[in-house]
Chains A and B, each alone.
Chain A
């Protein structure tokens, strides 16, 4: 298996633009997590899906952020409109269940100017 796949690896956009980050979890995993990491705040859980259903989105910063998982092999994290303070590395991770080992993707480095 190729592991968790994220795209793009790097994204530079201007403030106000829409940004869509993509994730393909490991086949067979039914839990998917989106994280954000910054120097100031460290690693933060944004949202957690189980069997394609959002279970906990309490970490989503505000309404500008939305996440979907239309099927077991694909998820998106969208920011609209983007702001400079959204600049961070966004990780996607998947696991068999919530309490099993999570496998992280390589991350998407987002820069909003």
Chain B
């Protein structure tokens, strides 16, 4: 069964600190992995999309890594800001005739001043 597990479920950090969010998956056959940021009351916004051959991808202060062998991904946030407070969702897409997307439960990040 395809699954995506994220950890931690929630995280509180101080402004300016770095943090790393984890995503483990069992989706097969793998197509791509996406990280989304979702502010409260709004729709998710894509941060990165990574395919099998990509190990790391950056988007400003966000850096995603992918280890396709261990089926793990991480999202590293550098020099956190109050606006980083949001839920971060990992989504893995499987190669299939349809569109098999498996969603993680998300990590709720709170950045405090």
- Whether both chains belong to one complex is answered with yes
Chain A interface (Cβ within 8 Å of chain B)?
4, 33, 42-45, 48, 55-56, 58, 91, 93, 98-107
Q: Within 8 Å of chain A (Cβ to Cβ): is B93?
A: yes
Q: CA of A45 to CA of B106 in the docked complex: distance in angstroms?
A: 15
Q: Within 8 Å of chain A (Cβ to Cβ): is B22?
A: no
Q: CA of A1 to CA of B87 in the docked complex: distance in angstroms?
A: 26
Q: Within 8 Å of chain A (Cβ to Cβ): is B113?
A: no
Interface of A, secondary structure class, is strand
- How near does chain B come to A94, taking the closest CB pair, in angstroms? 11
Query: Do the beta carbons of B43 and A56 come within 8 Å of each other?
Result: no
Interface-lining segment among B10-18, B62-70, B73-81, B96-104: B96-104
B-side interface size class: 20 to 34
> Looking across the interface, which residue of chain A has its beta carbon closest to that of B106?
A42
Q: Which residues does chain B contribute within 8 Å of A33, judged by CB atoms?
A: 99
Further 9 A-B residue pairs, CB within 8 A, beyond A42-B104, A99-B32: A33-B99, A43-B89, A43-B91, A44-B103, A48-B98, A55-B98, A56-B99, A91-B44, A104-B44
In the complex, chain B residues 40-54 whose Cβ is within 8 Å of any chain A Cβ: 42-46, 49
Q: Which residues does chain A contribute within 8 Å of B42, judged by CB atoms?
A: 106-107
- How near does chain A come to B11, taking the closest CB pair, in angstroms? 17
- How near does chain B come to A9, taking the closest CB pair, in angstroms? 10
Contact of A58 (CB < 8 Å), options: B43, B91, B98: B98
Q: Within 8 Å of chain A (Cβ to Cβ): is B26?
A: no
Q: Which residues does chain A contribute within 8 Å of B103, judged by CB atoms?
A: 42-45
Q: Within 8 Å of chain A (Cβ to Cβ): is B31?
A: yes
Query: Do the beta carbons of A56 and B98 come within 8 Å of each other?
Result: yes
Query: Do the beta carbons of B49 and A101 come within 8 Å of each other?
Result: yes
Q: CA of A45 to CA of B93 in the docked complex: distance in angstroms?
A: 12
Q: CA of A93 to CA of B89 in the docked complex: distance in angstroms?
A: 15
Q: CA of A107 to CA of B89 in the docked complex: distance in angstroms?
A: 16
> Looking across the interface, which residue of chain A has its beta carbon closest to that of B44?
A104
